[in-house]
Amino acid sequence: MFDAELRDELLRRMERDQAVRTAAPIGEPLSRELDQEWDAVDTGNTAFLKRVIAERGWPGRDMVGEEAAHAAWVLAQHADQDPEFQRGCLPLLKAAVDAGQVTPSEWAYLLDRVCVAEGRSQVYGTQYWTQNGVFGPRPIEDPDRLDERCAEVGLAPQADYDRTMRELYE
C-alpha cells in the first residue's frame, strides 16, 4: 500500500544526505563541523531506515514510489557506520529486485560497499578511493568479466563508469 508520508520523509532525508555530501570540498579533509554533521545525518538516517524496515519491510516502488525507493537505497548505501545493517539490507534489496521494486544496480552498489567494508574485492567496481595519491577503483574480483557482470545489473561498462568517476572526483 502506498505511503505518501513515508515517501516524503525518505525524500527529505535523502535531500539532507546529499546536501551534506555536496558541501564537502573534493579532495580536501572535512572540517570538524561538517564531519560532525555528516555523521549525525548518517546516524539518524540509519536509525530511521532500520525502524522502517522493521515495521514495513524494504520500502520499494509500490510502497513509496520510484524516487523514494531510490532514497531508501541511498540511506542504506551511506550507513557505513553500521556495516552489519548494510549487510543485512542485501537480501532485502535482492528480494526487492526480484519483485521489481528496486533496480538491480542499487543492489550491486550496496554489495560492493559491503565487500569493501569487509576487506574483500568488490564485484561491480562501483567503489573508488585515493590510495597513495592515486584515485581509482578499489580491488575488483575477476576483472576480466567485470563488464559482463555490470551489464547483467544495468551498470555501464567499467571504462565509462571510470571516466565519470574521474570527471566528478579527480
Give the tens place of pLDDT for each residue, 85-129. 999 999 999 999 999 999 999 999 999 999 999 999 999 999 999
What does the pLDDT average to over 146-166?
97
pTM score of the predicted model: 0.94
Give the model's confidence band at 6: pLDDT under 50 very low, under 70 low, under 90 confident, else very high: very high
What does the pLDDT average to over 154-168?
96
- The grid coordinates listed for 103 are 533496480
DSSP SS3 for 35 = helix
Distance CA 80, CA 46 (A): 9
Is there a contact between 157 and 145 (Cβ–Cβ < 8 Å)?
no
Stated length of the chain: 170
Is there a contact between 108 and 123 (Cβ–Cβ < 8 Å)?
yes
Taking 80 as the threshold, does the pLDDT of residue 75 lie above it? yes
In the 8-state DSSP scheme, what is residue 25? Answer: P
11-52 tens-digit pLDDT: 999 999 999 999 988 878 889 999 999 999 999 999 999 999
Predicted pLDDT of residue 47: 98
* CA dihedral over 135, 140, 142, 144, signed as positive or negative: negative
Q: Could you tell me which residues come within 8 angstroms of residue 18 by beta carbon, excluding any fewer than 6 positions away? A: 74
